[in-house]
Structure 1
Amino acid sequence: MINRTASARYEGFGKDGRGQVSTQSGVLAEQPYGFGTRFEDAPGTNPEELIAAAHAACFTMALSFALAKEGFTDGTLETTAKVKLEKEGEGFKVSRSDLSVDARVDGIDEDRFAALAEGAKAGCPISKLLNAEITLEHRLNA
């Protein structure tokens, strides 16, 4: 089992609150996020952008491994994930993640590539996470 961690801290509440998000690797270190970074154009990140990055990276790696398993040894994959945040009642929901991959793979036909890409979409761990059980542990006033 491999464990990876990230943490978030939010001070204040609602639109006036400000947060920072950090990752175990240090790639993100107290990166700012809040209402302005999520719903406006303020500098910083937001949860949907981070999910999009994770989904694009995971899918691309899964497709790379699927191609290697089939004997393909050279090429390039460039993926964009567009995560959609929509209003739902009084709140919001992430309704979809649209993956778009541009590929250069010598010697593969369109049908075989499409099948491998669909398999990678279904099988990458982040795709599975988006349909996974989510648990919550909480501590109040810790």
Structure 2
Amino acid sequence: MIIKKSGSAVWSGGIKDGIGSVSTESGVLAKAPYGFNSRFEGGKGTNPEELIAAAHAGCFTMALSGVLGEAGMTAKEMNTTATVTLEKVEGGFSISAVHLTLVASIPGANQHAFDAAALKAKENCPVSKLFNANITLDARLQG
């Protein structure tokens, strides 16, 4: 099975004074603004790194749901935050790391089974496989 999804970007102007927008095939994002200010100076709008972070958090959490199901567990709730690190390096910028923070409530789960499931999901979610960055994970099971 092959599934293709698309997103698009439009940009006008220079790197610092220009403005762009991003859209998704589904329409969830429709001409969401981004630019130098929103990417590097905390201004309004989105940026590629937060979109990657949201995609990675969503992919990992969904993959974990599948891994848990294979082990006979179902989460009551899982809350994942992905933090993407963008660094200036020689020749430009690079995403050097992604850190996943997970807090989960899974009735009947023990720490060992939870840790194994979280690690398997981190290593096997499609977005994790995409990155050459160092991807780390903090996973906490709530009672």
For residues 103-126 of structure 1, give each alpha carbon's deviation from its aligned partner in whole angstroms, at most 9, with x where no partner exists.
111111101110110000000000
For 1:76, the equivalent position in structure 2 comes to 77
After TM superposition, the structure 1 = structure 2 runs for residues 1-142 of structure 1, keeping only pairs within 5 Å, are 1-131=2-132
Identity of aligned residues (%): 53
For residues 58-90 of structure 1, give each alpha carbon's deviation from its aligned partner in whole angstroms, at most 9, with x where no partner exists.
000000111111111342110000000111024
Q: Deviation of residue 16 (structure 1)?
A: 0.9
2-structure distance, mates of 1:69, 1:38: 39
Distance 1:74 1:87, change over 3 A: closer
2-structure distance, mates of 1:125, 1:27: 21
For residues 35-55 of structure 1, give each alpha carbon's deviation from its aligned partner in whole angstroms, at most 9, with x where no partner exists.
000011221100000000000
Q: In the alignment, is the contact (CA less than 8 A) between 2:11 and 2:19 conserved in 1?
A: yes
Aligned AA (2:25): Q
Work out the number of aligned pairs and report it.
132
For 1:117, what is the secondary structure of its paired residue? helix
1-structure distance, mates of 2:74, 2:43: 42
Segments of structure 2 that go 5 or more residues without pairing to the other structure are 133-143
Segments of structure 1 that go 5 or more residues without pairing to the other structure are 132-142
Aligned AA (1:33): Y
> Alpha carbon RMSD of aligned pairs, Å?
1.3
* TM-score, normalization by structure 2: 0.89
